């Protein structure tokens, strides 16, 4: 096995074990044993478990972000949202081990590998769509980032549920998600206010 092949083998094994057991539940000994090598080989390639984990997380984040970025290229705003929802669900279905790793609270060694960070990265790509729609409908464009976070968070959390349920089909899930978002979006109030009386809100504090 060449050095590059060995590195890829270790990444594949690490990815599988991290998905099954998480960072803390996986040992460097297990990774080395599964690869049929000694621990020093793992240290040679990644400097330790933290380094291996960081590369696995980074690869998965880049894979998912890349799929979403392609989905958001060109087309009507609703079409972009449909493609983005389908891209996320396709990633969950085709790369479920990677998604399981991402939805866990990432270890500090990975830096920006947390699920919250991933949501923010995707939301930043959706902000432009939301901002354009807000302008065309007379809403406040400055609120687009907040709505983008809400939208992506809703889709991602639904994806977590669907990871285990796997029903209905991803096309059906995507259609219902966009239905909720788009039809809710068409009836959006320009300046929404809470209907709960001020006195009642204070009592609940």
The pLDDT mean for the chain works out to 87
Token pair in block for residue 193: 């206010």
Tell me: the pLDDT tens digits for 108-129? 444 444 677 778 888 888 888 8
Q: Is residue 2 part of a domain?
A: no
Q: What's the structural domain count of the chain?
A: 1
pLDDT of residue 194: 86
Residue range(s) defining the domain that contains residue 109: 56-186
Q: Report helix, strand and coil shares of the chain as percent, to nearest 5.
A: 80, 0, 20
Residue 12 domain-assigned (yes or no): no
- Domain with residue 86: its CATH number is 1.10.357.10
Across 26-32, average pLDDT: 96
pLDDT at 108: 41
Condensed to tens digits (0 to 9), the pLDDT of residues 42-75 reads: 999 999 999 999 999 999 989 999 999 999 888 8
Residue carrying structure tokens 């960081």: 54
Q: Is residue 125 part of a domain?
A: yes
Domain assignment of residue 93, yes or no? yes
**Could you tell me if residue 138 is inside a domain?**
yes
CA distance 129 to 120: 15
pLDDT tens profile 123-146? 888 888 888 888 888 888 899 899
Per-residue CA distances from 182 to 16, 23, 177, 187 (Å): 37, 38, 9, 9
Are 83 and 77 spatial neighbours (Cβ–Cβ below 8 Å)?
Answer: no
pLDDT of residue 204: 58
Residue 124 located in a structural domain: yes
For residue 178, is it within any domain?
A: yes
pLDDT higher than threshold 60 for residue 179: yes
Pair of tokens at residue 69: 């970025």
Tell me which residue of 65, 127, 126, 53 sits closest to 91, measured CA to CA.
65
Residues 6+ apart with CB under 8 A from 56: 11, 14, 15, 18, 101
pTM: 0.81
How far is C-alpha 170 from the chain's CA centre?
16
């Amino acid at each position: 096995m060449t050095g590059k092949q060995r590195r890829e083998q270790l990444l594949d094994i690490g990815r599988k074990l991290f998905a099954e057991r998480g960072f803390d539940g996986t040992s460097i000994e297990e990774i080395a044993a599964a690869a049929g090598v000694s621990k020093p080989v793992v240290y040679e390639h990644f400097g330790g478990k933290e380094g291996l984990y960081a590369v696995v997380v980074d690869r998965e984040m880049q894979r998912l972000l890349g799929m979403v970025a392609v989905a958001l290229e060109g087309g009507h705003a609703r079409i972009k949202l449909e493609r983005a929802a389908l891209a996320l669900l396709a990633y969950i279905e085709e790369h479920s081990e990677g998604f399981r790793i991402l939805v866990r609270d990432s270890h500090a060694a990975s830096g920006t590998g947390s699920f919250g960070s991933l949501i923010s990265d995707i939301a930043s790509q959706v902000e432009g769509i939301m901002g354009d729609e807000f302008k065309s409908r007379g809403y406040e464009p400055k609120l687009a980032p907040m709505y983008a976070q809400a939208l992506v968070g809703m889709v991602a959390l639904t994806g977590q549920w669907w990871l285990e349920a796997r029903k209905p089909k991803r096309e059906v899930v995507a259609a219902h998600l966009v239905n909720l978002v788009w039809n809710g979006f068409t009836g959006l109030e320009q300046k929404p206010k809470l209907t709960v009386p001020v006195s009642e809100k204070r009592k609940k504090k």
